[in-house]
């Protein structure tokens, strides 16, 4: 018995176009390219320092001299951009290290722009690495004070701009911060400096390893009063709409892997470039399973990054940038 009438083969045979690598490549819908990747780097003071992050094999806290070497290697392999996070020597309630003219990120920016002028240097704008309590802003009465924090975020963004950053990326999730930072930049001669907003940033357990890397674990409570509830999709559209209205140039969805639906919808609804942040926990899971021989780490990595592109991400912030660049060059 056959589904098809005798002698009649199916008219549709999708397998025809899967017969060889060349054919598959010819009809591939999504391209993953090193040119779309941004490598996060963690800066701290000192010299010749490479402090490994236990849950993120291949990722280190780096003194600026080592950070320059790491950035240069990534740039040589085709990665066009880095995003910088800083671990200050001292933390305090007002996050002074975040906007110090000679802060660790500011120094790293100056060094990178002097030595590798063509590498795009993006800076993460947030308080959590710099506050003694680990929250993303000024704490009052046990919660982060939104409007008091805006002032410091603007100071931080401005100090990154003065150091020579090519783009600032606020990741704090305070209300109104994109407009506030935009205005501060414009009034100080940086009207041309783009803002990549962490627009839909969820309160996620996938950030665990990052907090070890950035030493930014909150000392009390959690970030649920400012980062989004993972259950919400419509709210993400609202958050993105607000940031677009306030002047964001690129909007980001974070995390990426468990939020591909959000990436897809943001891409469909808005006409700005969309970034995805392939976060620390997503990286750690792949590395751990690959280390045990349970998965093929390289293939899983490329499949994940391709899925983010397929969902609609124009660019991807990823700790895999260098590993992926190596494979994509072949």
Hey, which residues are catalytic here? 201, 254
Largest CA distance in the chain: 80
End-to-end, the C-alpha distance of the chain in Å comes to: 48
Pairing mode, strands 250-254 and 143-144: unpaired
Residue span binding ligand PBG (CB under 6 A) among the ranges 21-29, 207-215, 306-314, 322-330:
207-215
* 122 vs 279 by CB, closer to ligand PBG: 279
Print the binding letters for residues 66-85 with ligand PBG: x by CB under 6 A, - otherwise: --------------------
**Within positions 214 to 253, which residues make up the interface with ligand PBG, using CB under 6 A?**
223
From the CB of 40, what's the least distance to ligand PBG, in Å? 7
Q: Which of 71, 136, 157, 193 binds ligand PBG (CB under 6 A)?
A: 136
Query: Beta strands 143-144 and 167-170: pairing type?
Result: unpaired
For the window 265-284, what string marks contact with ligand PBG as x by the rule CB under 6 A? --------------xx----
Q: Is 146 in the site for ligand PBG (CB under 6 A)?
A: no
Of 117, 114, 128, give the one whose Cα is nearest residue 85: 128
Query: 198 vs 40, 124, 191, 288, 303, CA distance in Å?
Result: 14, 9, 20, 27, 24
* CB nearer to ligand PBG: pick between 36 and 278: 278
C-beta of 44 vs 223, nearer to ligand PBG:
223
Part in contact with ligand PBG (CB under 6 A); list of ranges 90-98, 110-118, 149-157, 206-214: 206-214
Would you give the binding string for ligand PBG spanning residues 159-198, x where CB under 6 A is met?
A: ------------x---------------------------
Burial of 299 (0-12, 13-18, 19+ CB in 10 A): exposed
Q: CB 319 → ligand PBG: shortest distance, Å?
A: 7
- Work out whether 125 is an interface residue with ligand PBG (CB under 6 A): no
Report, in Å, the least distance between residue 280 CB and ligand PBG: 3
Instruction: Calculate the alpha carbon distances from 321 to 1, 12, 80, 118, 221 in Å.
Output: 53, 39, 10, 17, 32
Minimum distance between the CB of residue 25 and ligand PBG, rounded to whole angstroms?
31
**Is residue 222 a contact partner of residue 195, using CB atoms and an 8 Å limit?**
no
Whose CA is closest to 324, among 295, 303, 308, 293?
303
Render 107-153 in DSSP notation, one character per residue: HHHHHHHHH-TTSEEEEEE-STTTBTT--SS-EETTEE-HHHHHHHH
Give the whole-angstrom CA distance, residue 274 versus residue 305.
Answer: 14
Backbone Cα Rg of the chain: 21
Shortest approach of ligand PBG to residue 16 CB, angstroms?
41
Which of 60, 99, 207, 226 lies at the binding interface for ligand PBG (CB under 6 A)?
207
Nearer to ligand PBG, 162 or 211 (CB): 211
Region class of 7: left (phi > 0), else alpha (psi between -120 and 50), else beta: left
Please choose, out of 88-96, 110-118, 205-213, 320-328, the segment that lies near ligand PBG by the rule CB under 6 A: 205-213
Site residues, ligand PBG (CB under 6 A): 124, 126, 128, 136, 171, 207, 210-211, 223, 279-280
């Amino acid at each position: 018995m056959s589904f098809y009438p005798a002698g009649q083969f199916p008219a549709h045979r999708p397998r025809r176009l899967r017969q060889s690598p060349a054919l598959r490549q010819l009809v591939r819908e999504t391209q993953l390219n090193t040119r779309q990747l941004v490598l996060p780097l963690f800066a701290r003071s000192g010299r010749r320092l490479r402090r490994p992050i236990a849950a993120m094999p291949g990722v280190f806290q780096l003194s600026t001299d080592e950070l320059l070497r790491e950035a240069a290697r990534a740039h040589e392999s085709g990665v066009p951009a880095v995003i910088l996070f800083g671990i200050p020597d001292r933390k305090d309630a007002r996050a002074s290290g975040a906007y110090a003219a000679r802060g660790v990120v500011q120094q790293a920016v100056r060094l990178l722009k002097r030595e590798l002028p063509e590498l795009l240097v993006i800076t993460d704008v947030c308080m959590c690495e710099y506050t003694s309590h680990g929250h993303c802003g000024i704490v009052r009465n046990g919660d982060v004070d939104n409007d008091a924090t805006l002032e410091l975020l603007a100071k931080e963004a401005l100090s990154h701009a003065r150091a020579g950053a090519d783009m600032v990326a606020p990741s704090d999730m305070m209300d109104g911060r994109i407009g506030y930072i935009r205005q501060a930049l414009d009034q100080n001669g940086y009207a041309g400096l783009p803002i990549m907003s962490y627009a839909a940033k969820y309160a996620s357990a996938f950030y665990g390893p990052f907090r070890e890397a950035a030493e930014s674990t909150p000392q009390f409570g959690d970030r649920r009063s400012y980062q989004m509830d993972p259950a919400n999709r419509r709210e993400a559209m609202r958050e993105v709409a607000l940031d677009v209205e306030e002047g964001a140039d690129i909007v980001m969805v974070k995390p990426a892997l468990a939020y591909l639906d959000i990436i897809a919808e943001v891409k469909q609804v808005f006409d700005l470039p969309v970034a995805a942040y392939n976060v620390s926990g997503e990286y750690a899971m792949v590395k751990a399973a690959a280390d045990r021989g349970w998965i093929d780490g390289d293939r899983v990595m490329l499949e994940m990054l391709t899925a983010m592109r397929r969902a609609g991400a124009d660019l991807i912030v990823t700790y895999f940038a260098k590993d992926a660049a190596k494979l994509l060059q072949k």
